[in-house]
């Protein structure tokens, strides 16, 4: 595989769609684009260090989330999203002044026209942006639980958004990143798909969806990798086989409040 890149630990990284460029970023050493054929940087580090980076589907832009203003103690007071021209390594158009805190995660839609952002502060919203106009697209995603350094993943078809939130701590005194939850969203309606998935009890550091959109993989600080089946139709069929009946009206109102009642298992009467 050749010589390793002379990079730095604790970096965020992402590959260009054609696999020829690797982009890395961290606060100490900035953002660097690497030529994978030569194992050398394409140029000097970009002007600012960023928190997260993502290539556009055509590979022409690199979106970078970070912070533009900081308190004396180092905390962020205004998040920002910058767009870099990959060919020239120069800023492409005006930046977006986004969340109140550091923009911790960014992700492009499959057509490259929309960018989704999340913040590192305890907020309940993820925002959408028009890449061409740099204007916000409303409504935002608004969750019931606050996120912290929110991780996000977008399905290859752009229809499903997966985010991480933090429920009530499982440790005495509320310490630690315990009781992590995985939230599924319908991008078109901005509505959550059922209740959060519970399972990870450690801080979920990264998430990724397979190219076919059917499997979610999460990795946590407890060194555990969890594989989730995202094929909702399979969830329904498995639940129907196990229960061998439809939900009662009382159960429906408890688990799916506000939704009109219908048979969850049409083949069962």
Closest to 81 measured CA to CA, from 112, 116, 113, 57? 116
Contact between 166 and 181 (Cβ < 8 Å): yes
Cα(206)–Cα(129) distance, integer angstroms: 22
Mean pLDDT by 10 residues, the chain (269 residues): 53 88 83 92 81 93 83 69 94 88 87 88 79 92 62 87 70 55 86 75 77 86 82 70 80 77 75
Three-state secondary structure call for residue 251: helix
Which domains, from first to last, does the chain contain?
12-231 (2.130.10.10), 232-269 (no CATH)
Helix, strand, coil percentages for the chain (3-state, nearest 5): 10, 45, 50
Q: Which pLDDT belongs to residue 9? A: 47
CB atoms under 10 Å from CB of 22, counted, come to 18
Q: Which pLDDT belongs to residue 147? A: 54
CB atoms under 10 Å from CB of 116, counted, come to 26
Q: What is the pTM of this model?
A: 0.76
Cα(185)–Cα(159) distance, integer angstroms: 8
Return all residues near 65 (Cβ < 8 A) that are at least 6 apart. Answer: 50, 51, 52, 53, 79, 80, 81, 98, 102, 103, 104, 105, 106, 117
């Amino acid at each position: 595989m050749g010589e390793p890149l002379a990079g730095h630990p604790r970096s965020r990284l992402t590959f260009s769609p054609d696999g020829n460029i690797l982009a890395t970023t961290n606060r100490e050493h900035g953002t660097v684009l690497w030529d994978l054929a030569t194992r050398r940087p394409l140029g000097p580090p970009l002007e600012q260090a960023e928190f997260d980076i993502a290539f556009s589907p055509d590979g022409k832009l690199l979106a970078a989330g970070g912070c533009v203003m900081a308190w004396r103690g180092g905390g962020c007071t205004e998040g920002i999203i910058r767009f870099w021209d990959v060919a020239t390594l120069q800023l492409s158009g005006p930046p977006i002044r986004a969340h109140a805190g550091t923009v911790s995660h960014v992700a492009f839609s499959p057509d490259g026209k929309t960018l989704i952002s999340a913040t590192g502060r305890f907020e309940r919203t993820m925002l959408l942006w028009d890449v061409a106009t740099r204007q916000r697209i409303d409504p935002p995603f608004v969750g019931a639980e606050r996120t912290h350094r929110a991780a996000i993943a977008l399905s290859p078809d752009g229809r499903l958004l997966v985010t991480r939130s933090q429920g009530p701590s499982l440790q005495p005194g509320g310490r630690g990143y315990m009781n992590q939850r995985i939230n599924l969203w319908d991008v078109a309606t901005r509505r959550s798909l059922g209740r959060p998935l519970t399972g990870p009890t450690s801080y979920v550091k990264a998430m990724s969806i397979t190219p076919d959109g059917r499997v979610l993989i999460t990795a946590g600080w407890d060194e555990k990798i969890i594989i989730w089946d995202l094929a909702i139709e399979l969830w329904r069929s498995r639940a129907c086989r196990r229960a061998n009946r439809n939900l009662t009206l009382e159960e429906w109102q408890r688990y799916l409040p506000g939704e009109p009642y219908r048979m969850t298992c049409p083949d069962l009467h």
